[in-house]
Chains A and B, each alone.
Chain A
Amino acid sequence: MKTDLLFDFTVDKTAKTVNITREFDAELSLVWDAYTKPEILDQWWAPRPWTSKTKFMNFEVGGRRFYAMVSPEGQEHWSIQRYTSISPKTNFKMFNAFADKDENPELPGSDWDLNFSEYNGRTKVSITIYNESLERMEKMIEMGFKEGTAMNMKNLEELLASLSQRK
């Protein structure tokens, strides 16, 4: 794992936006695929021990991805993403909303703008997430909090397991 890959993360609560930039040590077409093909997306989208489960995904303008984040206990948190604009290997935009298991979106949602660029064999992805409401943004961050806690618990379990083996 290269440690010199750029990672920049800022939240502007007033503008209700989150900006995330990250470099990847791979060529653009590969990174683009990782973001736009469900079989690859599901491999990394959910922070372990959560898993990502895409029920369907039509990557075209007007198309949708309906997927769940599944907690280690098997709890499903569904979301819908609707693609509003696609410029292959350069940019795509989507509207993202939490949903119930029957595809009914919970509004308001958030608008995502993802930009891809390649330089010296590395690919930079810049993501801007704009939330219509501050509450929505806080909910998004709280969701992250839940997953983050689960993640940390998992790390703790692993740590405890490795410690108990040493005895």
Chain B
Amino acid sequence: MRRDIFQAIADPTRRAILALIALQAMTPNAIADNFNTTRQSVSKHLRILTECELVKQQQQGREIYYSLEIEKMKEIDQWLNPFRKIWETRFDQLDQVLSTLKKQENEN
């Protein structure tokens, strides 16, 4: 089943997992050591992240290493960017309007 990437980042533990493996590929046990939850629950989070294609698995000997799918992370950013841009532009325009208003106030 393919999931929506936003489901993946909706959960604080999953966001923390992404932040961890952004730095280096890690085994599920090494990841679980960073959390006060059960291994089972970490596995479940990893499964969801895998289904969302936000992480990839690599077999090295007997261990599986999880790492971040950078391209997929960009997708989150791209979806939001136009919307963020709107507000940025809006606020830049408001900055200009406010500075004009301030000048007018000082003149009166």
Chain A interface (Cβ within 8 Å of chain B)? 1-2, 5, 7, 9, 11-14, 18, 20, 22, 24-26, 30-31, 33-34, 40, 43-48, 140-141, 144-145, 147-149, 151
Q: Are A148 and B82 in contact (CB under 8 A)?
A: yes
A24/B95 in contact, CB under 8 A: yes
- Docked complex Cα distance between A47 and B91 (Å): 9
Nearest-neighbour CB distance to chain B for A42, whole angstroms, equals 10
User: Which one of B16-24, B25-33, B56-64, B96-104 is at the interface?
Assistant: B96-104
Q: A47-B90, A151-B85 are in contact. Are A26 and B98 (CB under 8 A)?
A: yes
Question: Which secondary structure dominates chain B's binding surface?
Answer: helix
| CB-defined contacts of B87 to chain A, threshold 8 Å | 9, 20, 22
| B86 shortest CB reach to chain A, Å | 4
Contact of A26 among B82, B84, B102 (CB under 8 A): B102
**CB contact between B86 and one of A31, A33, A147 (< 8 Å): that residue:** A147
A144 touches B97 (CB 8 A): no
Complex Cα–Cα for A141 and B89 (A):
15
Report yes or no: B93 in contact with A9, Cβ–Cβ below 8 A.
no
Return the contact of B93 from the options A30, A48, A145, A149 (Cβ within 8 A): A48
Residue pair A44, B82 in contact (C-beta under 8 Å):
no
The reply to whether B79 and A141 form a contact with Cβ atoms under 8 Å apart is yes
B9, B10, B98: the one within 8 Å of A25 (CB): B98
Of A14, A25, A48, which one neighbours B95 at CB under 8 angstroms? A25
Within the complex, the shortest CB–CB distance from A100 to chain B, in Å, comes to 22
Nearest neighbor of A123 in chain B, beta-carbon distance = B98
Give the distance in Å from the alpha carbon of A90 to the alpha carbon of B7 in the complex.
34
In the complex, besides A22-B87, A25-B99, A44-B96, 19 extra interface pairs with C-beta distance below 8 angstroms are A1-B95, A7-B88, A9-B80, A9-B84, A12-B10, A13-B9, A18-B83, A24-B95, A25-B95, A34-B101, A44-B90, A46-B90, A48-B89, A144-B83, A144-B85, A144-B86, A147-B86, A148-B82, A151-B86
B80 near A141 with CB under 8 A, answer yes
Chain A residues, Cβ within 8 Å of B98 = 24-26, 30-31, 34
* B82 in complex: contacting residue of A1, A40, A149, CB < 8 Å: A149
Whether A22 lies near B6 (C-beta < 8 A) is: no
